[in-house]
Structure 1
Amino acid sequence: MQSFRTELENPIVEEEILELEKRIRAFKEGKESDDKFKSLRLARGVYGQRQAGVQMVRIKLPFGRVTSEQLHKICNVSDEYSRGRLHITTRQDIQIHHVSLERTPQLWEELAKDDVTIREACGNTVRNVTASPTAGIDVNEPFDVSAYARATFQFFLRNPICQEMGRKFKISFSSSEEDTALSYIHDLGFIAKLKDGKRGFKVVLGGGLGSQPRHADELYDFIEAKKIIELIEGVIRVFDRYGERSKRMKARMKFLIKEIGKDAFMKLVEEQKTALSGVVPKFETEKYEAAPPLQDVTVPAVKIDDDEAFKTWKSTNVIPQKQQGLFAIGIRVSLGDFYTPEARKLADLIKKYAGNEMRFTLRQDILLRHVREEFLPFFYTELKKLGFAEAGYNKTVDITACPGTDTCNLGIASSTGIAAVLEDLLKEEYPHFVNGRDITIKISGCMNACGQHNMAEIGFQGMTVKSGKSVAPALQVLLGGGQFGDGKGRFADKVIKIPSKRGPHAFRRLLNDFEKESGEGERFTEYYERQGKTYFYDLLKDLSDTSKLSQDEFIDWGHDAPYIKAIGVGECAGVVIDLIATLLFESEEKIDNAKTALQRKSWADSIYHSYTSIVNSAKALLLAEDVKTNTQAGIISQFDELFVQTGKIELSTSFKEFAYQMNENEPGETFANKYLEDAHLFLKRVDAYRTKEVQDA
C-alpha cells in the first residue's frame, strides 16, 4: 500500500487524513488489531458492510445542507470510489457503499476540499446534528435554527470530550412547535421558542429508539439560545463519565437517565460547570436567515402537458417560504436512493435558477429552497425529466426504510424490498393517499430502528419466523406511533409477527379498516388508540399462522433464493475491546494530544485529554486484575479501593480527588500544564507497577 501526500489548506484535517492512511497501512500489515483499528475508522465515517472487503462511507452533512459545489464533489467521489449511488439517511447524511478501505483517505481528502467531512459520522461520537429541513424558510418558525445547529456541529467536532463515549449521541433542532426534527427521540432535542423577545429553546433530554424506545424528558421549557453549548457540553461530559461501556445494549444515555433519574443526572451536570471550556461560539445567524441572492436569469419557457398532474404536484410538493415570493420544492426520493447523473443536474438547477442550496430530510427526501414562483413550471418539467416530480412529498406514499439486508451487517429481513412493494401497492390501489391523509410508514431491517419503525403510525421490523425446522423472513407489525409536536410523541405497539410475504395483505387490511372505521379528520394514531391493540391483533391474527407456509414465503422480498439468516457484528457504535497494552499506549497518545492542545492554547481540550489519559491508565491496571470497568466513574471508584487505599499506588490524595481536579479548577494555562504533568507522572507510575507485576509473575 503506497502512502500519499495531501494538498489541503486545513492542517488539522490534513494530519487526520495522513493518520488514517498510516493506520490502514499498519492494520493491513498486521501491526494493529482489528478492534483497535475499528474504533478509529468508525470515528472517520468508515463502516463495515455486509459484503466482505468493502466499506460504507457516511458523509456528515450538518442539518442536511448542501450546496451545488458540494453536491458535485460528492458525486465525483461516488463515481470515483463507489458505484454512483447516493443514499440519504434518516439523519440527513449521505452514504456511499462498496468503497475499498485503502482508498478512504483519498476520498476524504477530495471531500475536504469543499468543506465536507466524514469525521465522526459513525462510532461512539456526537453524530450528525439534525434540524428541520424547512429551517430558515418555515412560515411558523420564531427564528432560523440553522446557525445554532451549525455552531453545535462545529463545537463538538474533534472535541476531546466526545471522541470515545460508551455509545453514540444524537442532537436535533426543530424550527417550530411542529417539531419536525423529532426532538423526543433524541439524546438532546431543541425546539425554537421566543420569550420576552429573546431567542431560546425548549429542551428535552434522554430520548431514543432501538429495541427499547424511550420518550425524552422535558428538561427546560425555555433556555436562552446563548446557553445551549454550555448545556450540551455539561451533559456530554456526564454521559462520557457515567455512561455504560461494557454492555453495549445498555450504553445509550436513555439508560443512564432511567437508572439515576433526570434530577440526579442534572445535578452531575451542574457539578461540571467549573470545568467547562467557557467558549461561547459565534452563532452566524445572518449567514442563514436572509434569502441568498438569486441569479438574474430569465425563466425558460415550458409547456405543461398535464395540468392536473402539475396542480397535484404543487399541492403536495411545493411549500411557500416565509420569504415573500419564494417557494421550496420537495422531492420524494424512493428509499432515499438516487444516482449521480440526476444529482449533478439538480446541483446545476439550484446553482443557476434557485438559491444554490438544498437540504436532505429526515424522511430521506430532498428539499430545494428559494425558488421564485414564476420558475415553478420550469422546475416541474426539469424534475419530471429526472424522475423527481412524483407527487406525495411527506405523504403516506413517502415510505422510510433503512438499507437492511442489502448492505447492513445487522439486517435480518429485507426492508427495502417490502418498502418498494408497499409503495407500488399504494400508488396502484390507494392513489388518494398520495395527496390525502398522511400515515407515516417506516421500516427497519432489525430492532435497532435505523428506519425509525417504532415511532411510525404503521411500522414494520425485520425478523424471522420458524416453520417446522425451516426459517422464513418475517415482519413485526407495529401500530399507533405518532409525532404530536412540541417534544411529544407516542411509540408504536408491537401487535403481531407475520411472514414477510404477507406484509401487503396486512397493509391492505389496515388501510381498508382505517377508511371504513375512522372518523372524519381522525388521525391514524387516534383511530388506533380508540380501537385498541387487541382489535388490530384480531384483525391480523390469521396472517400469523406459520403451519403451512408456501415455498414462496421462504424467499425474502427482492431475492430469488430461499432465505438464510445471516447476521454479522454490527458497527453502529462498536465497543472497542480494550487490552492492557493498548490502553497504556492510548494513554501516551492522549498525553501527546494534551500537549498539542496546549500549544494551540486550547486549555479545556488539553485538560480533558489529560483526564482521559488518567482514566485509561487506571483502567489498564483494573483490567489486569480482571475487574469489570463499565463506566469511567466506576473506574475511578474501583481504582481508589483496589490500588490507592491498599497502598499499591501512592497518591497524596484519593484517586477521585486526583482525577476530578478539573471540576475544581477553571480551565486555564496554569492548571492545564499542572494537570498534564500529573497525568504524565501517573502514567509512569502505573507503567512501572505493571512492569514489576509482569516481571514477578
Structure 2
Amino acid sequence: MSFEPISQAIQQEATAATTDQTRSVRVRRGVYSMRERPGFYMVRTRIPAGLISPEQLEAIAALAEEVNWPLGVHLTTRQGLELPGVPADKVVPILEKLQAAGITTFLTGGNSLRSPISCPYAGVTADEVFDVTPYALAVDHYFREVQTSYQVMPRKIKLAFEGCAHTDHVRTQVTDIGLRAVQREGQNGFQVLIAGGLGATPKLARELEAFIPVSELLLTIETILRVFNAHGNRENRSRARLKWLLEEKGLDWFRGEYDRERADLAKNPPALQLPTLTETAPALDGYPAVTEAELGEHYAVWKETNIHEQPQPGRVSVSIRVPNGDLLPQHLRQIAALTRRFAGNVRTSIEQNFLLRHVSAQALPALYLALKEAELDACCADELIDITRCAGSDVCLSALTNSRGAAFKISEAIRGDFSRHPDLRHLRIRVSGCPNSCSHHHTADIGLFGLSRQIHGKPVPHYAIELGGTASGTAVGSRVAEVPALRVGQAVKSTLIFYRDQHTAGEDFAAFVERVGPDAIKERLAPLANVPPPETAPTLYRDLGSDKDFRLTAKRGECAA
C-alpha cells in the first residue's frame, strides 16, 4: 500500500489546515488527530480476530519506545492496539515499519468494513461448536483485498464471530453483523444477526438467518453490504448506521431487498477461501519445579481466576490482565517472550486483555513467576476489578472526560477483599469518556459515560451511571443517576454495597436493579450528586487527573471521516 497520499495529507495539515479530504485520507489508514496536541497523531492497528505474533508484539514495542508516549500502547475493545503520541514526521515511517511486520492500519477508520473480531477462546474451549477463526480471517482478507466495493459505505460496519454455544464473548447482539456458530444436521454454519449497535442509542440485533452453511458466508455478508450500501443514509451521519436503516424501513423490508440482492449475487457467488492455521504447542513437561513458598498466596487466586481449561489434554489458556488496557513497551516484549517460552500463541480479547493459549498445565508455576517478575501477574481477569475503559480525553477528540482517571478511581474504591466478594466478583464495570460507548458501557452491570453539567455557572465533569446490562450484550443498562467525576468511585462502591446487602438469594444484579427500581438507587446516590459552589469544593470542578478547572474541549470524532 502506498503511503504517499497520507504523507501529503499530513504535510498539508502541518503547513495549512486540516480539511475533510486530508482527514479522510488519514483516518482510512488508521491515523487520527489527538486531543489538544496539534501535530501529533494516534495510529490504530488492525488485528483481525485478535491474532498477533510475538514478532509483531516486539515490532509495536519498538515503535512505542520510539514514540515514548507515557501510557504506552492501548488495547481496544475490538482486539486492536493503538499507538498514541506519534509526531507528524514519524507517521509514515511507523506505518512502513508496521507493514514490514505484517500489520496493517488500513480501514481501521472511515465508513468501511472494520476488522472482524472473534472469540479469543476459539479452538481452545469445549463449549465451541467449531473454530470460527479461519472464517473471520477469510472475511477480513476478502473485503479488504479482493472485494473493495464496500470501502466507502454510508457508515462503518462491524462484524463479530462467536463459536461458543453458550457464551457470547464478542457481543454479537450489539454489532452490525453478528455471526454465531451453529450446526444443522451435522453441517457447520452460522446464525446471522444484523443491525445491533451501541453508541448513544443502543439497539439489539435481529435475526436475519437462523442458519446459513459456512460455504455461503461471503455471499451472505456481501448481500447485507449491498443493501446497506444502496439504501443507507448518506445525508445524516447520526442516522447512518445499519441499525437506523432497520429502524426506519423494518426487518421485512430489509429481508425483501436482501432476498433480491442475494439471488442476483448467487449467480456468481464469491468463493470462500479459508487460510491454513497452524498452532504449535510447547512441551507438556520439563518445567522447573517451584515451591509453594516461592509462589506465595496470590498464586492460588491467580490460578483460580486467570486459568481456563482446554479440551486438549494437559493444556490450559491463561489470561493476562491488562489494567486500564495500557501496556508499556517492556510489557509487550515480555508477553512476546512468554508466548515463545510457554504458549502456542497469543490473542487479544475485547476485554482489553491477552490470552496465552496451549500452555502446559505443568508450566503454570513457572509461568506465574515469570509473569510476576514482569509485573503482569494481576489476578481476576474478566471480574469486577477488571475494568474496561475507552481511550478517553488523554487521546480522543470526542471524549468529554478522562475515563482512565475514572477507572483508576473506581479501582481504588473496590480493590482488595471487597472486589473478591462472592456476590460481587462476577460483575463487570465499563467506563467511557462520552456517550459513544467505546468501552461498551451499555453491556456492563455498571456502565458509566462522561458528560458535563453546568452548575453554579461553571461546567462540572460528571458520569452517568447505567445499571443492569449484560456482558453478552443480550440486554443493555438503564440510566439511573449522574455523579461528579471526583465521586465516581464512591458511587460505584455504594451501588455495589446496596446490591450485596439487599439482594435476595439467587437474584442477579439486573434483576435486583429491576426490583428495587431506579428511583431507589438514585435516592441512595443523591448525596454524592450534590455539588456545592466552586469556592467551597473546587476539586469537583476539575476532571480526574487535572489540576485545572474543567472545560469542554471535545470535538466531533474522526472515525467516520
Band the TM-score falls in, shorter-chain normalisation: over 0.9
Indicate the residue corresponding to 2:504 in structure 1.
Answer: 519
Report the Cα distance in structure 2 between the residues aligned to 1:168 and 1:482, rounded to whole angstroms: 24
Match of 1:113 among 91, 100, 109: 100
Larger Rg: 1
Indicate the residue corresponding to 1:323 in structure 2.
Answer: 312
Number of corresponding residues? 552
Report the Cα distance in structure 2 between the residues aligned to 1:399 and 1:71, rounded to whole angstroms: 23
Indicate the residue corresponding to 2:300 in structure 1.
Answer: 311
Q: Is the 8 A contact 1:132 1:181 kept in 2?
A: yes
Report the Cα distance in structure 1 between the residues aligned to 2:423 and 2:458, rounded to whole angstroms: 42
Indicate the residue corresponding to 1:234 in structure 2.
Answer: 223
Report the Cα distance in structure 1 between the residues aligned to 2:442 and 2:261, rounded to whole angstroms: 34
* Alignment deviations for residues 441-465 of structure 1 (CA, whole Å, 9 cap, x no partner): 0111001111111221101110112
Report the Cα distance in structure 1 between the residues aligned to 2:309 and 2:205, rounded to whole angstroms: 31
Structure 1 pair 523–129 and aligned structure 2 pair: CA distance change class (3 A): same
Structure 1 pair 434–403 and aligned structure 2 pair: CA distance change class (3 A): farther
Match of 1:141 among 128, 143, 146: 128
Q: Is the 8 A contact 1:161 1:240 kept in 2?
A: no
SS of 1:207's equivalent in the other structure is coil
Q: Is the 8 A contact 1:391 1:434 kept in 2?
A: no
Structure 1 pair 52–136 and aligned structure 2 pair: CA distance change class (3 A): same
Kindly state the Cα deviation for residue 121 of structure 1 after the two structures are TM-superposed: 0.9
State yes or no: 1:250 paired with 2:239: yes
Structure 1 pair 225–69 and aligned structure 2 pair: CA distance change class (3 A): same
State yes or no: 1:57 paired with 2:47: no
SS of 2:247's equivalent in the other structure is helix
Indicate the residue corresponding to 1:572 in structure 2.
Answer: 559
State yes or no: 1:502 paired with 2:487: yes
Q: Is the 8 A contact 2:414 2:493 kept in 1?
A: no
Pairing 1:664-675 to 2, within 5 Å after superposition: none
Match of 1:281 among 256, 259, 272: 272
SS of 1:75's equivalent in the other structure is helix
Report the Cα distance in structure 2 between the residues aligned to 1:217 and 1:156, rounded to whole angstroms: 23
Indicate the residue corresponding to 2:75 in structure 1.
Answer: 88
Match of 2:531 among 546, 554, 558: 546
SS of 1:202's equivalent in the other structure is strand
Indicate the residue corresponding to 1:414 in structure 2.
Answer: 402
Report the Cα distance in structure 1 between the residues aligned to 2:102 and 2:314, rounded to whole angstroms: 31
Percent identity among equivalent residues? 29
Indicate the residue corresponding to 1:265 in structure 2.
Answer: 254
Kindly state the Cα deviation for residue 19 of structure 1 after the two structures are TM-superposed: 4.0
State yes or no: 1:47 paired with 2:37: no
State yes or no: 1:185 paired with 2:185: no
State yes or no: 1:338 paired with 2:327: yes
> Which segments of 5 or more consecutive residues in structure 2 lack a partner in the other structure?
none
Kindly state the Cα deviation for residue 34 of structure 1 after the two structures are TM-superposed: 1.7
State yes or no: 1:212 paired with 2:222: no
Report the Cα distance in structure 1 between the residues aligned to 2:235 and 2:374, rounded to whole angstroms: 48
Structure 1 pair 347–542 and aligned structure 2 pair: CA distance change class (3 A): same
State yes or no: 1:391 paired with 2:379: yes
Farther off after superposition, 533-542 or 273-282: 273-282
SS of 1:60's equivalent in the other structure is coil
Q: Is the 8 A contact 1:141 1:176 kept in 2?
A: yes
SS of 2:474's equivalent in the other structure is strand
Report the Cα distance in structure 2 between the residues aligned to 1:213 and 1:179, rounded to whole angstroms: 18
Indicate the residue corresponding to 1:17 in structure 2.
Answer: 3
TM-score, L = length of structure 2 = 0.94
State yes or no: 1:360 paired with 2:351: no
* Alignment deviations for residues 289-308 of structure 1 (CA, whole Å, 9 cap, x no partner): xx424369842344443443
Indicate the residue corresponding to 1:606 in structure 2.
Answer: none
Indicate the residue corresponding to 2:366 in structure 1.
Answer: 378
Letter of the 2:133 counterpart:
S
Report the Cα distance in structure 2 between the residues aligned to 1:136 and 1:573, rounded to whole angstroms: 34
Kindly state the Cα deviation for residue 429 of structure 1 after the two structures are TM-superposed: 6.0
Kindly state the Cα deviation for residue 259 of structure 1 after the two structures are TM-superposed: 0.5
Indicate the residue corresponding to 1:622 in structure 2.
Answer: none
Report the Cα distance in structure 2 between the residues aligned to 1:374 and 1:397, rounded to whole angstroms: 27
Indicate the residue corresponding to 1:197 in structure 2.
Answer: 186
Match of 1:531 among 512, 516, 519: 516
SS of 1:237's equivalent in the other structure is helix
* Alignment deviations for residues 512-548 of structure 1 (CA, whole Å, 9 cap, x no partner): 1111111334321122122222222222233323354
Structure 1 pair 56–33 and aligned structure 2 pair: CA distance change class (3 A): closer
Report the Cα distance in structure 1 between the residues aligned to 2:377 and 2:505, rounded to whole angstroms: 30
Q: Is the 8 A contact 1:297 1:353 kept in 2?
A: no
> Which segments of 5 or more consecutive residues in structure 1 lack a partner in the other structure?
1-12, 575-697
SS of 1:161's equivalent in the other structure is coil
State yes or no: 1:442 paired with 2:427: no
Report the Cα distance in structure 2 between the residues aligned to 1:396 and 1:478, rounded to whole angstroms: 16
Report the Cα distance in structure 1 between the residues aligned to 2:545 and 2:18, rounded to whole angstroms: 36
Q: Is the 8 A contact 2:430 2:447 kept in 1?
A: yes
Kindly state the Cα deviation for residue 434 of structure 1 after the two structures are TM-superposed: 8.7
Kindly state the Cα deviation for residue 33 of structure 1 after the two structures are TM-superposed: 6.7
Kindly state the Cα deviation for residue 500 of structure 1 after the two structures are TM-superposed: 1.4
Kindly state the Cα deviation for residue 29 of structure 1 after the two structures are TM-superposed: 6.1
Letter of the 1:354 counterpart:
A
State yes or no: 1:125 paired with 2:116: no
Kindly state the Cα deviation for residue 23 of structure 1 after the two structures are TM-superposed: 4.6
Q: In proportion to residue count, which structure has more helix?
A: 1
Structure 1 pair 545–146 and aligned structure 2 pair: CA distance change class (3 A): same
Q: Is the 8 A contact 2:321 2:379 kept in 1?
A: yes
Report the Cα distance in structure 1 between the residues aligned to 2:439 and 2:228, rounded to whole angstroms: 25
Indicate the residue corresponding to 1:455 in structure 2.
Answer: 443
SS of 2:29's equivalent in the other structure is coil
Indicate the residue corresponding to 1:70 in structure 2.
Answer: 56
Report the Cα distance in structure 1 between the residues aligned to 2:333 and 2:471, rounded to whole angstroms: 34
Report the Cα distance in structure 2 between the residues aligned to 1:62 and 1:500, rounded to whole angstroms: 35
Match of 2:148 among 143, 160, 167: 160
Report the Cα distance in structure 1 between the residues aligned to 2:31 and 2:422, rounded to whole angstroms: 37
Q: Is the 8 A contact 1:208 1:214 kept in 2?
A: yes
Kindly state the Cα deviation for residue 201 of structure 1 after the two structures are TM-superposed: 1.3
Kindly state the Cα deviation for residue 398 of structure 1 after the two structures are TM-superposed: 0.5
Report the Cα distance in structure 2 between the residues aligned to 1:435 and 1:88, rounded to whole angstroms: 29
Letter of the 1:310 counterpart:
Y
* Alignment deviations for residues 126-151 of structure 1 (CA, whole Å, 9 cap, x no partner): 11210111111011001111001111
Farther off after superposition, 544-553 or 319-328: 544-553
Report the Cα distance in structure 1 between the residues aligned to 2:310 and 2:280, rounded to whole angstroms: 13
Farther off after superposition, 546-555 or 37-46: 546-555
Structure 1 pair 343–297 and aligned structure 2 pair: CA distance change class (3 A): farther
